[in-house]
Structure 1
Amino acid sequence: MPTLRQLEYLVAVADTGHFGRAAERVHVTQPTLSEQLRALEERLGTQLVERSRSNVVVTPLGFEVVEVARRMLRDAQRIRDLTGRLGSGMGGVVRLGLPSTIGPYLLPRVVPHLHALYPHLKLYVREDLPHTLPRGLAEGLHDVIVTPLPVTQSGLEEAVLFEEPLHLAVPLDHELAQRKLITIHDLEGVDLLALGPGHQLRDLVVNLAAEAGANIRFDYEGTSLDTLREMMATGLGVSLLPGLYVRSVVRNDPRFKTFDIGRRGLTRTIGMFWRKTKSSQANFARLADLFRETVAEEFKDALV
C-alpha cells in the first residue's frame, strides 16, 4: 500500500505541475520527492505522471489516483482530529501555516508566551502564500493557519486576531520623503513596488495604484518584504508595508521614512482558522486567544 507521505507528494505535484514547487510545498528536496513518486509508481505498477524537462503532466489514471489520495489524506486528518491530538493539556505537534509577511515578525513575540503556558506543545511552522493556505488547511496539510481575511474556503472556523495598519515606506532620497504627510493624490505618477502574485499585499498595492494613478512596477516584483525593502533602497520606488514588519524592521532602518496615507486608514485584518471538528474547537480557540492577547500586549503601538 502507498504511504500517506507518498500520496501527499503526488497531490503536491498534481496541484503545482512542477517537481521543484511541489518539493517546496511539502518541505523536502526535489530528488527525495521524485524518488518517492517513482517508488509509488513501482508499487502500484502504473505510471502516474509524465516527466519532461519543462513540466510534469499527470496521466489520466494518475488524476483518478490523485482524487482518491485527497480523500485518504482528508480521512487521515479526521482520524487525528477525532482522537484529540492536542488533548486537554495542549500538547503534541501543531502544524501552523502562515504567510512570510506575517510569520517572521509575529512568531518571535508569540512563541515564548506559548511555550511558557503550554510547554508540551510544539509548533511545526510552514510558510505559504495566503491564497493557498485555506485549501491546505481543508486538505489536512495544516492544523491551523494565520492569514489575512477574507477567506472563502468552507468548513473552517474563524477567529479575528488583530487589525494591522499598512504604511507607505519611502527611501530618504525620494522626493516624497521631504513631505510631512502624504495623501493619495501625492502618489499620482509615483512608482509603486509590490510583492509577486499570491500575496494579499500585492492586491492592496495594485488597488491603491489604480485609485491614485500611480505606476505599478510589475517588472520588479519582490519575493519577500526584505527584498522589496532593498529594491526600494536602490531607488526603484515606494511601497505599502504591514505594521508588524514596519515596527520590527523598517523603523530600525535609517534609510526609510514611513507615512500613513492621509485619512485613508489602510489596514488588513489578520485571522486564525481551523477545521470545524468537535475535538479541536476549544484548543484552537484558546490558541487564538493567546495570539490575540500577545499581539495586543507586544504590538500595542503598531496596531489599529
Structure 2
Amino acid sequence: MSHLPTTKQLRYFVALEQHGHFGKAAESCFVSQPAFSVAIKELENLLNIQLVDRTNKNVTITSLGRDVARQARVVLRDLEDLVDMAKGNQAPLTGQLKMGVIPTIAPFLLPSLLPALRESYPSLRLYLKEDLTERVYERLMEGELDLILIALPYDLRNVAEMPLFDDHFFLAHHEHSRFSTEQASYATEQLPSDSILLLEDGHCLRDHALAACNIKHADKVSSITATSLLTLVQMVDADLGVTFLPEMAIQSPLLKNTHIKTEPLEPNSYRQIGLVWRKASTRHAEFQMLGDFIRNHYRPV
C-alpha cells in the first residue's frame, strides 16, 4: 500500500486553507511555524502536487489545493464519526464533547445550565464555541464540533434536529417612548418609519424577529443596526427606537437598571431553541439525553 497522508498533515492543511497564513494556522494547531511548514511540504511531496503558492507576503491555496482541503475535511469528519462510534460503548455524557452555541443564547442559558450539568455529569468535559449560526454549522459539518445549540428554523442539511422549547418574543421600548404613549399603538403597522431596531445581518435573531413578529413593512425597520443584544438594549434605552427581545434575554439581568418596558406579543411570535448534530453521528441517543436535560433545566417565567 502506498503511503497515505497522516491526520496531522490533513488537519494542518485544513487550518492553513482556513486562515490563509502559516503563522496563524500554526498557532491554531498549537505547533511552531517551522514544524507546521515542514508538515505542509511533506504533504505536497507525498501527493506530488503543489497545494500552496508561496510569496514573501502572501499564501495562496491553489485550485487543486482547495479541492484537497475540501476532501480532507470529509476525511477528518469521518474519523471523528469513527471515534464517536467507539465512544458509543462508553457511559453517556462522559469524556469530551464540543458544542457550538450562538451569541443570542449563550449568555442567557449557559450561566445556569453549566453548573447543573457539571453536578449531574461530573465526567463530562464540555468545550464551547460561541459564534454565529452559519459558522457553528460549518464547524459542525467539518467535524470540529459535535453538536450545536441554535435557534430554529434555519436552513440546514444532513443534520438531525431536536427542538427543545419555544422562546417567545416581547416588544421592548423606553418607558416614556417618543414612538407611542399607548400600549395598543405599539402594533407593528402603527409604528413610525425607521422605528424598529434589529441586529445586523448575519444574526439569525434578526430573521426570526422579522418573521415571528410579522414585520411586513420594510420601511418600519431602521437602517441602523446593532452588533449585539447589549448594544440593541442600549439603543432602546436611549429611545432611539423599539425592538423585539426573546424571553430568555428578558429573564436575564440584561434589562436591569434600564428604563425599558416589555409588552407580550401574539402567542405565535417565537423562535425555537434546539440542538443539531450530524445525521451520520452515532451519538444520537447521547445528544437526545443532553437535549432532555436542557429542556428540563430551562424554566421560562
Same fold (TM > 0.5): yes
- Cα shift at 1:257: 1.1
Name which of 156, 162, 185 aligns with 1:159: 162
Range moving further from structure 2, 45-54 or 62-71: 45-54
Match in the other structure for 2:258: 254
| 1:278–1:231 CA distance, 2 compared to 1 (3 A) | closer
Match in the other structure for 1:300: 300
- Cα shift at 1:50: 5.6
| 1:62–1:125 CA distance, 2 compared to 1 (3 A) | same
Contact 2:173–2:239 (8 Å) recurs in 1: no
Q: Deviations over 1:95-121 (max 9, x none)?
A: 011100001111112112211111000
- Cα shift at 1:54: 11
Name which of 241, 249, 267 aligns with 1:237: 241
- SS state of the match for residue 217, structure 1? strand
1:112 aligned onto 2:115 = yes
Contact 1:165–1:266 (8 Å) recurs in 2: yes
Contact 2:81–2:281 (8 Å) recurs in 1: no
Match in the other structure for 1:270: 273
Alignment of 1:61-100 (within 5 A): 61-84=64-87, 87-100=90-103
Structure 1 distance, partners of 2:108, 2:34, is: 36
Contact 1:97–1:127 (8 Å) recurs in 2: yes
- SS state of the match for residue 153, structure 2? coil
Contact 2:169–2:264 (8 Å) recurs in 1: yes
Contact 1:8–1:73 (8 Å) recurs in 2: no
What is the RMSD computed on CA atoms of the aligned residues?
3.5
| 1:264–1:110 CA distance, 2 compared to 1 (3 A) | closer
Identity across aligned pairs (percent)? 29
Letter in 2 for 1:9: A
Range moving further from structure 2, 176-185 or 145-154: 176-185
Contact 1:206–1:216 (8 Å) recurs in 2: no
Q: Deviations over 1:171-191 (max 9, x none)?
A: 234224633342222324242
Name which of 204, 211, 224 aligns with 2:208: 204
1:289 aligned onto 2:292 = yes
1:215 aligned onto 2:181 = no
Range moving further from structure 2, 111-120 or 144-153: 144-153
| 1:47–1:121 CA distance, 2 compared to 1 (3 A) | same
Name which of 194, 199, 222 aligns with 1:195: 199
Letter in 2 for 1:225: L
- Structure showing greater Rg: 2
Letter in 1 for 2:13: L
How does the TM-score come out when normalised to structure 2? 0.80
Match in the other structure for 2:43: 44
Letter in 2 for 1:257: K
Alignment of 1:13-52 (within 5 A): 13=19, 38-45=37-44, 48-49=51-52
Match in the other structure for 2:140: 137
- Cα shift at 1:205: 4.2
Match in the other structure for 2:229: 225
- Cα shift at 1:32: 7.9
- SS state of the match for residue 257, structure 1? strand
Contact 1:89–1:118 (8 Å) recurs in 2: no
- Cα shift at 1:62: 1.7
Structure 2 distance, partners of 1:9, 1:221, is: 32
Match in the other structure for 1:12: 18
| 1:123–1:247 CA distance, 2 compared to 1 (3 A) | same
- Cα shift at 1:278: 6.5
Q: Which runs of 5+ in 2 are unaligned?
A: none
Q: Deviations over 1:240-265 (max 9, x none)?
A: 1111111103442332111224x364
- Cα shift at 1:155: 3.0
Structure 1 distance, partners of 2:56, 2:174, is: 42
Name which of 131, 154, 174 aligns with 2:177: 174
Contact 1:187–1:214 (8 Å) recurs in 2: no
- SS state of the match for residue 94, structure 1? strand
Structure 1 distance, partners of 2:72, 2:200, is: 30
| 1:177–1:188 CA distance, 2 compared to 1 (3 A) | closer
Contact 1:171–1:256 (8 Å) recurs in 2: yes
